[in-house]
Each structure stands twice: as C-alpha cells, then as structure tokens.
Amino acid sequence: MEYKVFEDKVLVRLDKGDEIVSSLLAVAKEQDLTLASVAGIGATDDFEIGVFDLSRSDYEHVRFYGNHEIVSLVGNLTTKEGAPYIHLHISCAGEGGKIVGGHLFSAKISLTAEIFLLKAAGSADRLRDETLGINKIRFE
C-alpha cells in the first residue's frame, strides 16, 4: 500500500495481497482522519460481504473467490469510541459480468485498487443502537 495526500484528499493505491478495510483504517490512523467519504475501484479475488437481516438484527455473511472487478466501492469514515471506523459497501463483477454486492467486511486485492478518501472538516462519532443492532452516526 502507498498513499499520497493532496490538500483535502488522500489517494490510496493498494497492491496485490493488501486488504481494503485494514489498509484504509491504517491510513486513517496515520493521517489522523476523523471524517471522510470513500470511493474506489480495483480488483479482488477474495472478499466477504453481507446484507443486513432485519429479522435477526445481524448480517448474512457471504464469501466470494475468483476474479472480480470492483466496479464500485463507496462509504464513509467516522469514529467510534475515539478510533477510526469505516463503513463500506462494494459491488463486484465476476464471471460473465455478474454483479454481487453489499456491506464490505473484507477484500484482498488481486491486482490493484485506487481509492480516494475525501476529508471533511470536523468529526462524526458512532454509537451502538442495540434495538437495531448497528452502529449509528450520532449528532450532538
């Protein structure tokens, strides 16, 4: 992984074997980021996504292997209990262009990924909502 800061943007390049979520959290810690939007593209051959099951208040996890293009990686960076917290969704195209997607838990890069973090002034913290089973952004 390498990255470069451009005023209010951080351009991150991930390389084969890098993991998206942990890499972006590392950049956030190094750059002391507390609020940013995330957008990127790339390729993965090992990723885990989920769709939130309202009846269980938990995610249904699904893991995919094999060549996939990341056609959309979007989300945000906030904080939770003073530490960087990343919330990402991903869409990936596999064999025959079939698209799968959902909440991103992890993804290993198979070729490269190009991800922008657009920094925002201020911060937003998250608080656990036990009735829903999610970490919601809170406004004070």
**Nearest alpha carbon to residue 43 among 3, 63, 73:** 73
> What percentage of the chain has pLDDT greater than the value 70?
100
The pLDDT tens digits for 45-60 are 999 999 999 988 899 9
Angle at 19 between CA 41 and CA 46, to 5 degrees: 80
pLDDT at 62: 98
Question: Which residues, 6 or more positions from 59, have their beta carbon under 8 angstroms from its beta carbon?
Answer: 50, 51, 52, 53, 103, 105
Q: What domain range is 99 assigned to? A: 2-138
Could you tell me which residue, 139 or 80, shows the higher pLDDT? 80
* Residue written as token pair 């470069």: 4
pLDDT at 57: 87
> Confidence band (pLDDT; 50, 70, 90) for 3?
very high
d(CA 111, CA 62): 22
What is the rounded average pLDDT for all residues in the chain?
96
In the chain, the number of structural domains is: 1
Report the 10 Å Cβ neighbour count for 78: 22
- What is the model's pTM? 0.94
Domain containing residue 32: CATH number: 3.30.1330.80
d(CA 118, CA 35): 8
The pLDDT tens digits for 89-135 are 999 999 999 999 999 999 999 999 999 999 999 999 999 999 888 99
> Confidence band (pLDDT; 50, 70, 90) for 75?
very high
**Nearest alpha carbon to residue 33 among 130, 138, 123, 135:** 123
**In what helix (H) or strand (E) does residue 31 lie, and over which residues does it extend?**
helix 20-31
Helices (H) and strands (E) in the chain, counts: 1, 8
**Nearest alpha carbon to residue 42 among 11, 75, 3, 13:** 13
pLDDT at 139: 85
> Can you tell me the mean pLDDT for 61-84?
97
pLDDT greater than 80 at residue 140? no
